[in-house]
Amino acid sequence: MNRREFMAAVTGGVAAAGGFASSSMPAHASDTATGVPANQVGVLVDTTKCIGCRKCEYACARANRPNGVSIEAYKDMSVFDTPRRMTHDALTVVNRFANPAKPAEPIYVKSQCMHCLRPNCVSACIVGALHKKSNGTVSYDASKCIGCRYCMLACPFEVPAYEYGNVLTPMVRKCTFCYETYQSRGEPPACVQMCPPNCLTFAPRGDLIELAHAKIEADPDAYHPHVYGETEAGGTSWLYLTSRPAEDLGLLEIPARPLPRLTENLQHSIFKYGIPPMLLYGLLAVAMKVSEAEEKTEPSKAPHE
């Protein structure tokens, strides 16, 4: 049995348990995007204003790295030659995209945790290490994390990163929305404060949606008629205005429905019908061993261009 066959068998067995119970599982409150707390905040990213200065990256690193960082490292613009994604020590990154309408003016797009209204990572975490706060922040408690990385698999935006190089106390890392460092003091996140062209607007989410649509109506030639994050995955705290379709700018196509129902039904079924957690960990360990053995026997492949 190879890795794919093994994982198919494991997934099929668990899915069967989930299907057996799904008809009796009550609909979760996360099935609807209503009932968003009045104090839930967000950030509107106007990508038509971003100049790719990377100051937001620097501000984020300075706020989250205890040893400090140098701004000189963020003056390197060669990083735009290759698309980047978030890592354990880069919780936000800016990427550059072509602008067919104005070839001399590329489009820059900042990425970070979207802080979903109904976060799938929170639903997937079996130990409660991820928590949704009333102001919109999806927070992470490292003291509870067991390193299962279910959150990484569950995130539709492919955000959480793992400290693979930290052997003793690895953590899952993602944007904190500067909850402890700034928001708790009534201040905007570090990246918002640092942005020179003011393309990041921090405010109550409802106000941001109104502002975004007002901008689109006022200048329809400048903006694509869709506010990314308004409905994706049931809605997110980070919202985007773009001049091109979002999928052309590295923003993933995500269904509008909230996603936690999928993981909740599966997990609730597993524990409700007596499949013990240790059995799941045993299956995971076997899968990892199969994967390691297969990787050792597979010939190395050249990277895909």
pTM assigned to the model: 0.76
**Domain enclosing residue 157, as ranges:** 41-262
24 located within any domain: no
What total of structural domains would you count in the chain? 1
Q: Beta-strand (E) ranges in the chain?
A: 41-46, 93-97, 107-111, 130-132, 138-140, 161-162, 172-173, 200-204, 238-241
125 located within any domain: yes
4 located within any domain: no
Name the packing angle between helices 260-272 and 3-22 (round to 10°). Answer: 90
Q: Please, are residues 270 and 14 in contact by the beta-carbon 8 Å criterion? A: yes
CA distance 256 to 261: 13
Amino acid letter for position 67 = N
CATH code where residue 144 lies: 3.30.70.20
DSSP state of 186: T
Tally Cβ neighbours within 10 Å of residue 30: 22
279 located within any domain: no
Residue matched to tokens 């990892």: 288
| pLDDT tens per residue across all 305 residues of the chain | 443 443 444 444 433 433 333 332 333 333 334 567 777 999 999 999 999 999 999 999 999 987 778 999 999 999 999 999 999 999 999 999 999 999 999 999 999 999 999 999 999 999 999 999 999 999 999 999 999 999 999 999 999 999 998 888 899 999 999 999 999 999 999 999 999 999 999 999 999 999 999 999 999 999 999 999 999 999 999 999 999 999 999 999 999 988 765 555 555 555 544 455 556 556 655 655 665 665 556 554 444 44
**In terms of residues, how long is the chain?**
305
- Enter the tokens of residue 35: 């009932």
14 located within any domain: no
